[in-house]
Structure 1
Amino acid sequence: MRPALFSSLCAAAVCAISIPAIAACQADSAASAQAVDLSTPHAAVNATLLAEATAAPAFSSSAAMEPSEALSGLPDAPSATLDGAAEGQSASPHLPAPNQPIAPKYTIIILPGQGAVPLSAGSKVAFAFRQEVSPFTMLSRVLSATWSQAIDSQPHYGQGWGPYGQRVGASFARGAVQDLATMAVFDPIFRDDPRYYVLGRQHKLINRAVYAATRVLITRTDSGHNTLNAPLLLGYAAAAGANMAYYPQRDRNFGDAATGYAGSLGGSVLGFEVNEFLDDALRLVHFRHD
């Protein structure tokens, strides 16, 4: 009975979010086409760069977020603001500089030196759904369920293939609520950027590790400033509450919900660390070159 009810709720939720997402994305495309003025050479270059970035979506890992040393003395990721103008980056937080490499619009990781196409509210909804179908996202959820099965942690479905299948389903449900609530709902409301801006190899290893870990609490606004990562904190809280609808009865209490919430935040820290050092790891095994 519970699985059938939960499936119906998930289907209704996806339909409710998908319809406005499609309409919003169509509106964004029309607005972008009208907003570009090709009367100057600089605008023409930016129009070409933006078109190329929009046409090259990429898939990557889950959710998240950037530099300056303005908040608690912690390093923050490179940004296309006035501070970056001396290094060849655009003085505008919205448009990359001419000839600057542009990250694909829907990639989650922005590397140092890359320009980033700004995301409107509708684009953030589309971004969230693209992350849901990312192979990396799916693999991470299966691995999470496998680890939970191995140590018999929450949710306590038991052992065996049947309970393992339930754990996998619960992992996908929890992750979907976390990502959609964070990126498709709260990021547009708070006007925050859901992407992760890599600090980069020009910084010390410890600074990069601390920077990545603090992205759970600190994120980047659409205008390039640091702020509290309210979307992630609220989105993960929403998922912890939703768990009560399909977790085993023994896990449906405030203490276990709080424990699950803390565990999800810890998993997010691990994800941010992967985002920070993934490019270095790929270069180390010669899968990526300068």
Structure 2
Amino acid sequence: MKIKSSLPLSATNLFLSLYLFCGSAHAQDKPATFTQVSVETSSSSLLDNSDLPDAPQAPVSGPVAEQEGVQTKRILGIFPNFRAVSANTHLPPQTVLEKFKTASQDSFDYSSIFLPAAVAGINQATNSTPEFRQGAAGYGRYYWHAFADQAVENYTVEAIFPVITREDNRYYTLGRGGFMKRAGYSLSRVVITRNDAGNETFNISEIVGAGAGAGLSNLYYPSRERTLGNTVSKWGSNIGIDAGTFLFHEFWPDINHKLFHGKQPSQ
């Protein structure tokens, strides 16, 4: 009997003990919770105080990465650079009109007088075409022939053959790597170009177009100058000038950055 009556009593005592313990623990937790809330509320009110000075901002440190291979529309603000495309730039295919527009810009831009002027001076100094003679009149003959050569070659290489072969006449800047890598890339563009689909292909427009331009120029040169040797020589000169132009296109962004900090006017 004692055992039987002691079980409920023990259970009751255990329950009361647990209840009192939990109640005591709960009562002890309340001040701590109140204190924590009070501190947080006090901290929030301090942070929201508009009278406090602004926190000092950490200065931005570290070099800013330079954008590589950024082309301008003109070189030195004068010479046309319309065919050069900045590095890592993806453009839609050119239309027929855009190809002829590029050729026209390179042929009749206000700066297009400079290269023929230099070529005419060299040709006159070397007496390359004796029929033109010397003096101002002779220089004029050399000049307009050089200007016509430039325009004819521009249209055959940049417009007529790119339309026929569906090739892109623009120069896509590599803009990264060492000098030899970039120089090799730029010179290789004489024989490698992109088609309108964006894939690399043999540069028919440059090789065949430059030859066609040299052949067409025979139409307005004296008959004695219309030889195979002169035509091949002019063909090679056209390709050589274009190769040098590609090389300059590739490194113009670097020159522009070093000399003008990239602020050279683009128009």
TM-score range, shorter chain: 0.5 to 0.7
Q: Secondary structure in 1 aligned to 2:100?
A: helix
* Corresponding residue of 1:261: 235
Higher helix share: 2
Q: What is the CA-CA distance between 1:236 and the residue it aligns to?
A: 1.4
C-alpha change, 1:280 and 1:135, in structure 2 (3 Å) is farther
Q: Which of 176, 180, 183 in structure 1 is aligned with 2:155?
A: 180
Q: Is the Cα contact below 8 Å between 2:210 and 2:239 reproduced in 1?
A: yes
- TM-score (ref. length: structure 2): 0.64
Aligned letter for 2:222? Answer: P
Q: Is the Cα contact below 8 Å between 2:153 and 2:238 reproduced in 1?
A: no
Aligned letter for 1:138? Answer: I
Aligned length: 190
Aligned letter for 1:224? Answer: G
**Two-structure CA RMSD over aligned residues (Å):** 2.5
- TM-score (ref. length: structure 1): 0.59
* Corresponding residue of 1:219: 193
Q: What is the CA-CA distance between 1:117 and the residue it aligns to?
A: 4.0
C-alpha change, 1:108 and 1:154, in structure 2 (3 Å) is farther
Provide the C-alpha distance between the structure 1 equivalents of 2:167 and 2:130, rounded to a whole number of angstroms.
31
Q: Secondary structure in 2 aligned to 1:216?
A: coil
* Corresponding residue of 2:212: 238
Q: What is the CA-CA distance between 1:126 and the residue it aligns to?
A: 2.2
More deviation in 154-163 or 185-194?
A: 154-163
The correspondence of residues 247-258 of structure 1 with structure 2, limited to 5 A, is: 247-258=221-232
Q: Secondary structure in 2 aligned to 1:219?
A: strand
Q: Note if 1:190 corresponds to 2:173.
A: no
Provide the C-alpha distance between the structure 1 equivalents of 2:129 and 2:184, rounded to a whole number of angstroms.
28
Aligned letter for 2:85? Answer: I
Higher Cα radius of gyration: 2
Q: Is the Cα contact below 8 Å between 1:155 and 1:248 reproduced in 2?
A: no
* Corresponding residue of 1:86: none
Structure 2 gap ranges (5+): 1-71
Structure 1 gap ranges (5+): 1-56, 63-105
**After TM superposition, what 4+ stretches of structure 1 lie above 6 angstroms from structure 2?**
none
Q: Note if 1:168 corresponds to 2:143.
A: yes
Aligned letter for 1:232? Answer: E
C-alpha change, 1:218 and 1:251, in structure 2 (3 Å) is same
The correspondence of residues 109-188 of structure 1 with structure 2, limited to 5 A, is: 109-153=84-128, 157-188=132-163
